[in-house]
Amino acid sequence: MKIFLRSMLGAVAILAAGVTSSAANDRYADRPPVMVSPDLSAPWVLQLGRAPGIVRQSRQVVQQPRVRYAQPARPDRVRTASVQAPAKRLVRPQINPLYLPQEVAYDGPQKPGTIVIDTTQNFLFLVESNGKARRYGVGTGKPGFEWSGTHKITNKRVWPDWRPPAQMIKREAAKGRYLPTFLAGGEENPLGARALYLGTTEYRIHGTNQPWTIGGAVSSGCIRMRNEDVVDLYERVNVGTTVVVI
């Protein structure tokens, strides 16, 4: 009996040793991968991460894109630029269409080719034949600078220079406005694109860099025209043309 028990115990020991050796060897054996079915998308499956032996579906298939909802902006965090009104553009007054060039009837005493300037209505007439005249709107002398008389055009200039009279410089300086003693011709020059000089006076028929003033009593005695109008007149008259200011 004792011999039988010893034999049985020896066999069990040998068997246990064999199992232990086999189990130890199995720890280092490659296990077959676990295939995750496409329909298993529960959170616990996704949490497996990079666990060995797990074959996961592509991220694009398993993980649904998260939709981000825009949060309404808080009023106190709105950028200033989005609530500021757009900058206003400086809009100059438009000239009254009444003062644009046009052909009108003329029954006055002046012969064709004469320039007649009506300083009360602010019109310049170039008398034509057949009882017609070409009429332009002009700016004339402001109160205290009105004048009348008859002169000849003694000179014509394109983009004339400007030399303000000493009396004008002194008068404007008293108002806090300081004029240059000389200003070359150009778009910023108050005499504009053309000038027709009247007799030996300091008066001229000239253009302007302020066309919105046409039709008013605005000058220091000169006859002011829009640049496009004075260019047109310049081409129609010559030195020696009579100018009647009434």
Domains of the chain: 97-245 (2.40.440.10)
Residue 61 pLDDT exceeds 50: no
Of 11-25, 145-159, 166-180, 195-209, minimum mean pLDDT range: 11-25
pTM above 0.85, yes or no: no
Q: Tell me what pLDDT residue 94 has.
A: 82
**Per-residue pLDDT at 30:** 56
Per-residue pLDDT tens over the stretch 39-59 = 444 444 444 444 444 344 444
Q: Which two tokens stand for residue 6?
A: 């010893």
Which residues does residue 230 pair with via DSSP β-bridges, in sequence order? none
pLDDT value, residue 66: 54
| Tokens describing residue 13 | 């020991």
Tell me what pLDDT residue 55 has. 41
Position 195 scores a pLDDT of 98
Average pLDDT over residues 157-168: 94
Greater confidence, 213 or 19? Answer: 213
Cα separation, 211 vs 139, whole angstroms: 9
More confident residue, 216 or 73: 216
Distance CA 127, CA 105 (A): 10
Note the pLDDT of residue 33: 56
**What pLDDT, on a 0 to 100 scale, did the predictor assign at position 95?**
86
- pLDDT, the chain, mean: 79
* DSSP annotation string for 126-170: EE-STTEEEEEE-BEEPTT----EEEEEEEEEES--B---HHHHH
> pLDDT for 67-96, tens place per residue?
454 555 554 554 544 456 556 666 667 889
Instruction: Give dist(CA 226, CA 216) in Å, integer.
Output: 13
